[in-house]
Amino acid sequence: MNKLLKLSLAGLFLATSALQGQIEINENLSITGFLDMSAVETDSEPNNNSNSTFNLDQVEIDFLLNFDELSGQIDLNYLGGNDDKFDLEQAFMRYDLGDGSDVEAGKFLSYMGFETFEPTGLYQYSYAYDIRNAIPGHHNGVRYNYNDDFLSLGLGLLDSVYDPDGSIQDSGHGIEAKIAITPLEGWTIFLGFAKDSMEGASQDKDLINFWTSYETGNVTWALEFNKYDFGPTDVGSQFLVMANLGLTETAGITFRVSEDDQDFKGGDTATKFTVSPNLSINDNLGVLFELSQTDYGTEGTVTSAAFETIFTF
């Protein structure tokens, strides 16, 4: 997953310094993955509804292929449920053009979003936005990437930004673009744009995603702002502010405030407050606790407490 956090997000678990390991099969193939479990208690007001869950949330096995200039990745993902089967999450190949450039083709993860798609890269259990999931997931296509120590560029031509059916028989298509800079060590500034043009849709889906993060010492700060326009009755904006404090080499705590504002509803807003202490048991096992409350205004509040364990390999 390329979220451009070459600093300490991708491949880190819960803001500790323990790198996710890889099992090397041979010089061309390595395997990595994780197992994610959680227990969650949720209470809603004013309905006084409560719900408790204890789940194996996710198991993922990733196959990393390396053949000099040509490399690839195949991710198999299990999300629980009744079918008890692994699904193909992503599969793509990458050709290194040299001088920091490469081309990827297949099914891969979106550029967009500060918070990583996988739980192994999150600073807390839940995601920031509780009304609209405006950040895309995986999609099919081809894209060009350029990366150096200061600048990162990307442009993707996609079957669809939000609906990765893999079909090229219809007139739907999507594009994604990103530009990011690292003006100082530990400081990243990201700007991304996505447009989805689906066959039969009355209007394109547009997303602007901006985020910046700064890591100094044992503290990481982040700010994100999203603006989305999915049609006359689906327009809104989102933001998050986050701070992660490393208390020791193996323990930390995250504070986050986030908001989802649906403009077409005249200011209907969900504001979320999150605190999440976390602990790395060793290089492969981490645990965290999260307490969150989302205020939906006149619709009431939802409070949740979660305990999560993640085993990486």
Please report, for the domain that includes residue 286, its CATH number.
Answer: 2.40.160.10
- For residue 56, tell me if it sits in a domain: yes
- For residue 14, tell me if it sits in a domain: no
Give the whole-number percent of the chain exceeding pLDDT 70: 87
Q: How many domains does the chain have?
A: 1
State the average pLDDT over residues 139-148.
96
- C-alpha pair distances (Å), 147 with each of 2, 153, 176: 11, 7, 16
Distance of CA 218 to the CA centre of its chain: 22
- For residue 49, tell me if it sits in a domain: yes
Average pLDDT along the chain: 88
Distance of CA 180 to the CA centre of its chain: 17
- Per-residue confidence (pLDDT) for residue 92, from 0 to 100: 98
DSSP 19: B
Bigger pLDDT: 17 vs 229: 229
User: What is the model's pTM?
Assistant: 0.88
Contact 28, 65 (CB under 8 A): yes
Structure tokens at 151: 């600048």
Structure tokens at 270: 């969900």
Structure tokens at 110: 């979106």
The count of C-alpha atoms lying within 13 angstroms of the C-alpha of 118, restricted to the half-sphere facing its C-beta, is 31
- For residue 138, tell me if it sits in a domain: yes
Q: Give the three-class secondary structure for 206.
A: strand
State the average pLDDT over residues 186-195.
97
| pLDDT tens by residue, 146-156 | 999 999 999 99
- Per-residue confidence (pLDDT) for residue 171, from 0 to 100: 59
Bigger pLDDT: 3 vs 189: 189
- For residue 2, tell me if it sits in a domain: no
- For residue 1, tell me if it sits in a domain: no
Residue type at position 78: Y
Q: At a CB cut-off of 8 Å and minimum separation 6, what does 30 contact? A: 22, 23, 24, 63, 64, 66
Give the whole-number percent of the chain exceeding pLDDT 90: 75
- Per-residue confidence (pLDDT) for residue 299, from 0 to 100: 84
| pLDDT tens by residue, 74-127 | 999 998 776 778 999 999 999 999 999 999 999 999 999 999 999 999 999 999
- For residue 124, tell me if it sits in a domain: yes
Structure tokens at 92: 């793509």
Residue 196 scores a pLDDT above 70 = yes
- C-alpha pair distances (Å), 89 with each of 60, 76, 106, 118, 180: 9, 6, 11, 11, 26
Range of the domain at 213: 23-312
- C-alpha pair distances (Å), 219 with each of 11, 16, 35, 243, 249: 18, 11, 27, 7, 12
Contact 194, 136 (CB under 8 A): yes
pLDDT band at 19 (very low <50, low <70, confident <90, very high): very low
- Per-residue confidence (pLDDT) for residue 170, from 0 to 100: 55
Q: Distance between CA 298 and CA 290 in Å, rounded? A: 25
- For residue 9, tell me if it sits in a domain: no
Number of helical H runs and strand E runs in the chain: 0, 17
> Residue ranges of the alpha helices (H) in 26-87?
none
Q: Distance between CA 188 and CA 210 in Å, rounded? A: 11
